[in-house]
Amino acid sequence: MAKNLRLKAARAAKDMSQKDLAGMVGVTRQTVNAIEMGDYNPTIRLCLAICRVLEKTLDEIFGEG
């Protein structure tokens, strides 16, 4: 899996740490880090929660392009 730089950029644009985002979506900081590093494939429910917090669409954060 490739790194998710769009997730990292969207999080940084909101001035949120991995810990901040993790707390808002109910996972650990390590889970957010693993998603950003491409080491973990999140569930659709987690993807949607992340998108809601970051005010982005699924495609903007997790899309193929």
Pick from 34, 9, 4, 30: nearest CA to 19: 30
Is 11 in contact with 18 (CB distance < 8 Å)? yes
What domain count does the chain have? 1
| Rounded mean pLDDT, 39-47 | 97
Asked if pLDDT for residue 1 goes beyond 80, the answer is: no
Boundaries of domain holding 13: 5-56
The model carries a pTM of 0.94
Q: pLDDT over 90 for what percent of the chain?
A: 94
Domain membership flag for residue 63: no
Burial (CB count <10 Å: 0-12, 13-18, 19+), residue 40:
middle
- pLDDT number for residue 65: 66
Average pLDDT over residues 51-55: 98
pLDDT (0 to 100) of residue 38 = 95
Average pLDDT, whole number, for the chain?
96
> In CATH, what number is assigned to the domain containing residue 50?
1.10.260.40
Q: Does residue 10 lie within any of the structural domains?
A: yes
